[in-house]
Amino acid sequence: MNAKIIDGKAIALEQRAMIRAEVSELVERHSLKPGLAVVLVGEDPASKVYVRNKEIATRKAGMESFAHRLPANTGQEDLLALIEKLNHDSGVHGILVQLPLPDHLDSQTIIEAIDPRKDVDGLHPVNAGYLLSGQKGHVPCTPKGSIVLAKSAASDLTGMEAVVVGRSVLVGKPVAQLLLNENCTVTIAHSRTKNLEDVVGRADLLVAAVGRPEMIRGDWIKKGAIVIDVGINRVPDPQEEGKHKLVGDVAYEEAIEVAGAITPVPGGVGPMTIAMLLANTLDAARGQFQGNPD
Ligand code: NDP
Protein backbone atom coordinates (compact mmCIF):
# COMPACT_ATOMS: atom_id res chain seq x y z
CA MET A 1 0.00 0.00 0.00
CA ASN A 2 1.37 3.39 -1.01
CA ALA A 3 -1.42 5.85 -0.41
CA LYS A 4 -1.84 8.03 2.63
CA ILE A 5 -5.34 7.44 3.96
CA ILE A 6 -7.19 10.72 4.39
CA ASP A 7 -9.07 10.27 7.66
CA GLY A 8 -12.30 12.18 7.06
CA LYS A 9 -13.69 11.12 10.41
CA ALA A 10 -10.78 12.64 12.34
CA ILE A 11 -10.70 15.81 10.23
CA ALA A 12 -14.47 16.23 10.65
CA LEU A 13 -14.12 15.86 14.42
CA GLU A 14 -11.40 18.55 14.45
CA GLN A 15 -13.63 20.86 12.43
CA ARG A 16 -16.58 20.21 14.72
CA ALA A 17 -14.48 20.95 17.81
CA MET A 18 -13.41 24.30 16.26
CA ILE A 19 -17.03 25.12 15.42
CA ARG A 20 -18.17 24.22 18.93
CA ALA A 21 -15.56 26.57 20.40
CA GLU A 22 -16.68 29.40 18.11
CA VAL A 23 -20.34 28.79 18.93
CA SER A 24 -19.66 28.91 22.64
CA GLU A 25 -17.84 32.23 22.19
CA LEU A 26 -20.80 33.65 20.22
CA VAL A 27 -23.19 32.54 22.95
CA GLU A 28 -21.00 33.99 25.69
CA ARG A 29 -20.13 37.31 24.07
CA HIS A 30 -23.31 38.04 22.13
CA SER A 31 -26.00 35.67 23.49
CA LEU A 32 -26.24 34.46 19.90
CA LYS A 33 -27.05 30.77 19.63
CA PRO A 34 -27.02 29.58 16.01
CA GLY A 35 -30.20 27.66 15.14
CA LEU A 36 -30.69 25.07 12.41
CA ALA A 37 -34.15 23.96 11.24
CA VAL A 38 -34.28 20.62 9.45
CA VAL A 39 -37.44 19.73 7.56
CA LEU A 40 -38.23 16.09 6.80
CA VAL A 41 -41.26 15.12 4.74
CA GLY A 42 -42.27 11.48 4.81
CA GLU A 43 -40.80 8.26 6.16
CA ASP A 44 -37.79 7.50 3.94
CA PRO A 45 -35.61 5.40 6.29
CA ALA A 46 -32.26 6.78 5.07
CA SER A 47 -33.53 10.37 5.31
CA LYS A 48 -34.78 9.74 8.84
CA VAL A 49 -31.30 8.58 9.88
CA TYR A 50 -29.64 11.59 8.20
CA VAL A 51 -32.00 14.01 9.92
CA ARG A 52 -31.48 12.37 13.31
CA ASN A 53 -27.70 12.56 12.86
CA LYS A 54 -27.92 16.22 11.88
CA GLU A 55 -30.00 16.99 14.98
CA ILE A 56 -27.50 15.25 17.27
CA ALA A 57 -24.51 16.96 15.64
CA THR A 58 -26.19 20.37 15.83
CA ARG A 59 -26.86 20.02 19.56
CA LYS A 60 -23.34 18.70 20.19
CA ALA A 61 -21.99 21.84 18.54
CA GLY A 62 -23.93 23.91 21.08
CA MET A 63 -26.44 25.08 18.47
CA GLU A 64 -30.23 25.00 18.61
CA SER A 65 -31.86 22.27 16.54
CA PHE A 66 -35.42 22.55 15.27
CA ALA A 67 -36.73 19.42 13.59
CA HIS A 68 -39.95 19.53 11.58
CA ARG A 69 -41.20 16.07 10.70
CA LEU A 70 -44.13 16.25 8.32
CA PRO A 71 -46.33 13.45 6.96
CA ALA A 72 -45.62 12.10 3.47
CA ASN A 73 -48.87 13.58 2.13
CA THR A 74 -47.95 17.17 3.12
CA GLY A 75 -49.02 19.54 0.35
CA GLN A 76 -46.77 22.01 -1.47
CA GLU A 77 -48.60 25.02 0.01
CA ASP A 78 -48.23 23.74 3.57
CA LEU A 79 -44.52 23.13 3.09
CA LEU A 80 -44.07 26.58 1.53
CA ALA A 81 -45.95 28.11 4.49
CA LEU A 82 -43.58 26.39 6.95
CA ILE A 83 -40.53 27.67 5.03
CA GLU A 84 -41.96 31.18 5.03
CA LYS A 85 -42.41 30.95 8.80
CA LEU A 86 -38.83 29.71 9.27
CA ASN A 87 -37.53 32.48 6.96
CA HIS A 88 -38.98 35.03 9.41
CA ASP A 89 -37.99 33.24 12.62
CA SER A 90 -35.01 35.12 14.09
CA GLY A 91 -33.96 32.07 16.13
CA VAL A 92 -33.52 30.04 12.94
CA HIS A 93 -30.34 30.92 11.05
CA GLY A 94 -30.19 27.88 8.78
CA ILE A 95 -32.92 25.92 6.99
CA LEU A 96 -32.34 22.53 5.43
CA VAL A 97 -35.02 20.60 3.59
CA GLN A 98 -33.99 16.95 3.50
CA LEU A 99 -33.94 15.63 -0.07
CA PRO A 100 -35.33 13.74 -1.87
CA LEU A 101 -38.85 15.04 -1.29
CA PRO A 102 -41.88 12.88 -2.12
CA ASP A 103 -42.73 12.97 -5.84
CA HIS A 104 -45.78 15.22 -5.54
CA LEU A 105 -43.62 18.06 -4.20
CA ASP A 106 -41.59 20.33 -6.47
CA SER A 107 -38.11 20.37 -4.89
CA GLN A 108 -36.86 23.30 -6.96
CA THR A 109 -39.75 25.56 -5.92
CA ILE A 110 -39.24 24.56 -2.28
CA ILE A 111 -35.49 25.26 -2.41
CA GLU A 112 -36.09 28.62 -4.08
CA ALA A 113 -38.51 29.57 -1.28
CA ILE A 114 -35.72 29.41 1.32
CA ASP A 115 -34.14 32.76 2.19
CA PRO A 116 -30.70 32.44 0.52
CA ARG A 117 -29.07 33.74 3.72
CA LYS A 118 -30.54 30.71 5.53
CA ASP A 119 -29.87 28.21 2.72
CA VAL A 120 -27.13 26.28 4.54
CA ASP A 121 -27.29 23.47 1.97
CA GLY A 122 -26.12 26.00 -0.64
CA LEU A 123 -28.65 24.80 -3.21
CA HIS A 124 -30.57 28.05 -3.80
CA PRO A 125 -29.79 29.50 -7.26
CA VAL A 126 -28.60 32.72 -5.58
CA ASN A 127 -25.93 30.77 -3.69
CA ALA A 128 -25.06 28.75 -6.81
CA GLY A 129 -24.66 32.09 -8.60
CA TYR A 130 -22.43 33.47 -5.85
CA LEU A 131 -20.21 30.40 -6.16
CA LEU A 132 -20.00 30.81 -9.93
CA SER A 133 -19.22 34.52 -9.73
CA GLY A 134 -16.71 34.14 -6.91
CA GLN A 135 -18.78 35.97 -4.28
CA LYS A 136 -19.36 34.92 -0.71
CA GLY A 137 -22.39 32.69 -0.18
CA HIS A 138 -23.28 29.28 1.19
CA VAL A 139 -21.41 26.47 -0.55
CA PRO A 140 -22.97 22.98 -0.69
CA CYS A 141 -21.66 20.87 2.19
CA THR A 142 -20.30 17.75 0.46
CA PRO A 143 -18.27 19.71 -2.15
CA LYS A 144 -16.96 22.05 0.56
CA GLY A 145 -15.90 19.04 2.67
CA SER A 146 -14.24 17.40 -0.32
CA ILE A 147 -12.00 20.43 -0.79
CA VAL A 148 -11.02 20.46 2.89
CA LEU A 149 -9.97 16.81 2.54
CA ALA A 150 -8.03 17.44 -0.69
CA LYS A 151 -6.21 20.32 1.02
CA SER A 152 -5.34 18.11 3.96
CA ALA A 153 -3.30 16.05 1.48
CA ALA A 154 -1.77 19.03 -0.39
CA SER A 155 -2.21 22.47 1.11
CA ASP A 156 -1.82 24.19 -2.28
CA LEU A 157 -3.78 22.73 -5.20
CA THR A 158 -2.62 25.41 -7.65
CA GLY A 159 -1.87 24.16 -11.14
CA MET A 160 -3.06 20.61 -10.52
CA GLU A 161 -4.96 18.74 -13.23
CA ALA A 162 -8.24 18.02 -11.47
CA VAL A 163 -10.80 15.62 -12.89
CA VAL A 164 -14.30 15.50 -11.43
CA VAL A 165 -16.36 12.49 -12.51
CA GLY A 166 -20.02 13.49 -12.16
CA ARG A 167 -21.80 16.74 -13.02
CA SER A 168 -24.70 16.88 -10.55
CA VAL A 169 -25.89 20.18 -9.14
CA LEU A 170 -25.42 18.74 -5.66
CA VAL A 171 -21.82 17.52 -5.99
CA GLY A 172 -20.04 17.49 -9.37
CA LYS A 173 -20.62 21.05 -10.55
CA PRO A 174 -19.96 22.84 -7.24
CA VAL A 175 -16.86 20.73 -6.55
CA ALA A 176 -15.52 21.63 -10.02
CA GLN A 177 -16.13 25.32 -9.36
CA LEU A 178 -14.39 25.13 -5.98
CA LEU A 179 -11.39 23.43 -7.61
CA LEU A 180 -11.27 26.19 -10.19
CA ASN A 181 -11.23 28.68 -7.30
CA GLU A 182 -8.21 26.74 -5.96
CA ASN A 183 -6.49 27.35 -9.32
CA CYS A 184 -6.74 23.79 -10.58
CA THR A 185 -7.13 23.02 -14.27
CA VAL A 186 -10.50 21.33 -14.14
CA THR A 187 -12.13 18.69 -16.35
CA ILE A 188 -15.67 17.54 -15.63
CA ALA A 189 -16.46 14.03 -16.87
CA HIS A 190 -19.91 12.43 -17.04
CA SER A 191 -21.83 9.55 -18.56
CA ARG A 192 -21.24 10.76 -22.13
CA THR A 193 -17.48 11.32 -21.70
CA LYS A 194 -15.42 9.38 -24.22
CA ASN A 195 -12.38 7.44 -23.04
CA LEU A 196 -13.15 8.06 -19.37
CA GLU A 197 -10.21 5.93 -18.37
CA ASP A 198 -7.77 8.23 -20.18
CA VAL A 199 -9.42 11.35 -18.78
CA VAL A 200 -9.19 9.96 -15.23
CA GLY A 201 -5.57 9.00 -15.89
CA ARG A 202 -4.65 12.69 -16.36
CA ALA A 203 -5.75 13.64 -12.87
CA ASP A 204 -3.34 14.82 -10.19
CA LEU A 205 -6.53 15.24 -8.17
CA LEU A 206 -9.50 13.00 -8.84
CA VAL A 207 -12.98 13.55 -7.39
CA ALA A 208 -15.40 10.67 -8.00
CA ALA A 209 -19.09 11.53 -7.60
CA VAL A 210 -20.85 9.01 -9.79
CA GLY A 211 -22.91 6.65 -7.64
CA ARG A 212 -21.56 3.46 -9.26
CA PRO A 213 -19.82 1.00 -6.94
CA GLU A 214 -16.06 0.80 -7.56
CA MET A 215 -16.44 1.92 -11.18
CA ILE A 216 -13.05 3.67 -11.23
CA ARG A 217 -10.35 1.02 -11.19
CA GLY A 218 -6.90 1.30 -9.68
CA ASP A 219 -5.11 1.04 -13.02
CA TRP A 220 -6.97 4.12 -14.33
CA ILE A 221 -5.40 6.31 -11.64
CA LYS A 222 -2.20 8.30 -12.09
CA LYS A 223 0.58 7.33 -9.70
CA GLY A 224 0.63 9.64 -6.70
CA ALA A 225 -2.78 11.24 -7.39
CA ILE A 226 -5.01 12.55 -4.63
CA VAL A 227 -8.32 10.65 -4.78
CA ILE A 228 -11.47 12.02 -3.15
CA ASP A 229 -14.21 9.41 -3.33
CA VAL A 230 -17.62 10.99 -2.77
CA GLY A 231 -19.61 7.90 -3.76
CA ILE A 232 -21.65 6.02 -1.20
CA ASN A 233 -22.97 2.74 -2.58
CA ARG A 234 -24.66 -0.08 -0.67
CA VAL A 235 -23.61 -3.48 -2.00
CA PRO A 236 -24.02 -7.06 -0.74
CA ASP A 237 -21.24 -7.95 1.69
CA PRO A 238 -19.33 -10.98 0.27
CA GLN A 239 -18.08 -11.83 3.80
CA GLU A 240 -21.53 -12.08 5.39
CA GLU A 241 -24.54 -13.43 3.55
CA GLY A 242 -27.63 -11.23 3.68
CA LYS A 243 -25.61 -8.24 4.94
CA HIS A 244 -24.65 -5.07 3.07
CA LYS A 245 -21.61 -2.86 3.15
CA LEU A 246 -20.77 0.60 1.83
CA VAL A 247 -18.28 1.13 -0.98
CA GLY A 248 -17.23 4.18 -2.94
CA ASP A 249 -17.07 4.88 -6.67
CA VAL A 250 -13.37 3.97 -6.65
CA ALA A 251 -12.03 0.42 -6.28
CA TYR A 252 -10.31 1.24 -3.00
CA GLU A 253 -8.09 -1.83 -2.56
CA GLU A 254 -6.64 -1.30 -6.05
CA ALA A 255 -6.42 2.47 -5.76
CA ILE A 256 -4.42 2.47 -2.50
CA GLU A 257 -1.59 0.79 -4.42
CA VAL A 258 -1.19 3.71 -6.84
CA ALA A 259 -2.71 6.86 -5.34
CA GLY A 260 -0.67 9.29 -3.25
CA ALA A 261 -3.59 9.91 -0.89
CA ILE A 262 -7.16 8.63 -0.81
CA THR A 263 -10.37 8.95 1.17
CA PRO A 264 -11.91 5.69 2.39
CA VAL A 265 -15.63 4.85 2.20
CA PRO A 266 -17.03 5.00 4.81
CA GLY A 267 -14.99 7.44 6.90
CA GLY A 268 -13.92 9.86 4.17
CA VAL A 269 -16.18 12.49 2.64
CA GLY A 270 -19.32 11.34 4.49
CA PRO A 271 -18.43 12.69 7.95
CA MET A 272 -17.32 16.01 6.42
CA THR A 273 -20.79 16.74 5.08
CA ILE A 274 -22.31 17.25 8.54
CA ALA A 275 -19.26 19.20 9.73
CA MET A 276 -19.66 21.60 6.79
CA LEU A 277 -23.39 21.94 7.49
CA LEU A 278 -22.50 23.12 10.99
CA ALA A 279 -19.88 25.50 9.55
CA ASN A 280 -22.47 26.96 7.16
CA THR A 281 -24.98 27.36 10.01
CA LEU A 282 -22.38 29.19 12.09
CA ASP A 283 -21.60 31.48 9.13
CA ALA A 284 -25.32 32.06 8.57
CA ALA A 285 -25.84 33.05 12.22
CA ARG A 286 -22.92 35.46 12.05
CA GLY A 287 -24.18 36.92 8.79
CA GLN A 288 -27.68 37.51 10.19
CA PHE A 289 -26.46 38.96 13.48
CA GLN A 290 -27.40 42.62 13.68
CA GLY A 291 -24.38 43.71 15.72
CA ASN A 292 -20.77 42.99 15.03
CA PRO A 293 -20.06 39.39 16.02
CA ASP A 294 -16.32 40.00 16.03
P1 NDP B 1 -26.19 11.92 -9.45
O2 NDP B 1 -26.81 10.61 -9.79
O3 NDP B 1 -27.01 13.12 -9.35
O4 NDP B 1 -25.02 12.21 -10.51
C5 NDP B 1 -24.17 11.21 -10.94
C6 NDP B 1 -23.24 11.74 -11.99
O7 NDP B 1 -22.40 10.69 -12.42
C8 NDP B 1 -23.96 12.28 -13.23
O9 NDP B 1 -23.42 13.51 -13.61
C10 NDP B 1 -23.73 11.20 -14.27
O11 NDP B 1 -23.58 11.69 -15.60
C12 NDP B 1 -22.40 10.63 -13.83
N13 NDP B 1 -22.28 9.24 -14.29
C14 NDP B 1 -23.17 8.23 -14.17
N15 NDP B 1 -22.71 7.12 -14.74
C16 NDP B 1 -21.51 7.41 -15.25
C17 NDP B 1 -20.55 6.69 -15.97
N18 NDP B 1 -20.72 5.40 -16.28
N19 NDP B 1 -19.41 7.31 -16.35
C20 NDP B 1 -19.22 8.60 -16.04
N21 NDP B 1 -20.10 9.36 -15.34
C22 NDP B 1 -21.23 8.77 -14.97
O23 NDP B 1 -25.39 11.63 -8.08
P24 NDP B 1 -24.84 12.68 -6.97
O25 NDP B 1 -23.91 13.64 -7.58
O26 NDP B 1 -25.95 13.18 -6.16
O27 NDP B 1 -24.04 11.66 -6.05
C28 NDP B 1 -22.92 10.94 -6.52
C29 NDP B 1 -22.47 9.96 -5.46
O30 NDP B 1 -22.10 10.66 -4.30
C31 NDP B 1 -23.55 8.96 -5.01
O32 NDP B 1 -22.93 7.73 -4.71
C33 NDP B 1 -24.08 9.57 -3.72
O34 NDP B 1 -24.61 8.60 -2.84
C35 NDP B 1 -22.83 10.19 -3.18
N36 NDP B 1 -23.07 11.32 -2.27
C37 NDP B 1 -22.36 11.32 -1.11
C38 NDP B 1 -22.52 12.35 -0.22
C39 NDP B 1 -21.70 12.33 1.02
O40 NDP B 1 -22.05 12.94 2.01
N41 NDP B 1 -20.53 11.66 0.99
C42 NDP B 1 -23.48 13.43 -0.44
C43 NDP B 1 -24.10 13.40 -1.76
C44 NDP B 1 -23.89 12.36 -2.61
P45 NDP B 1 -24.78 12.37 -16.44
O46 NDP B 1 -24.92 13.75 -15.88
O47 NDP B 1 -24.30 12.35 -17.82
O48 NDP B 1 -25.99 11.52 -16.19
Pick the CATH number of 141-270 from 3.40.50.2000, 3.40.50.720, 3.40.920.10, 3.30.465.10: 3.40.50.720
| Residue 47 clears pLDDT 70, i.e. is over it | yes
Residue whose C-alpha is closest to residue 65's, from 27, 41, 95, 85: 95
Q: What torsion, rounded to 10 degrees, do the Cα atoms 101, 126, 189, 231 define?
A: -40
Segment 12-20 mean pLDDT: 98
**C-alpha 208 – ligand 1 centre gap (Å):** 8
Rounded percentage of the chain residues whose pLDDT exceeds 70: 98
- For the chain, residues classed under CATH 3.40.50.10860 are 30-115
- For the chain, residues classed under CATH 3.40.50.720 are 141-270
CATH number 3.40.50.10860 is the correct assignment for the domain at 30-115:
yes
- Pocket lining for ligand 1, CB < 6 angstroms: 142, 165-168, 170-172, 189-193, 196, 209-212, 230-233, 269-270, 273
Q: Which of 15, 118, 119, 121 is catalytic?
A: 121
Q: Over the chain, what is the mean pLDDT?
A: 97
| Residue 21 clears pLDDT 60, i.e. is over it | yes
pLDDT of the residue at 292: 57
Residue whose C-alpha is closest to residue 83's, from 63, 64, 107, 61: 107
* Neighbour tally for 79: CB within 10 Å: 21
Segment 184-213 mean pLDDT: 98
Task: Tell me whether residue 54 is one of the annotated catalytic residues.
Answer: yes
| Residue 129 clears pLDDT 70, i.e. is over it | yes
pLDDT of the residue at 11: 98
Q: 239-293 pLDDT, tens per residue?
A: 999 999 999 999 999 999 999 999 999 999 999 999 999 999 999 999 999 655 5
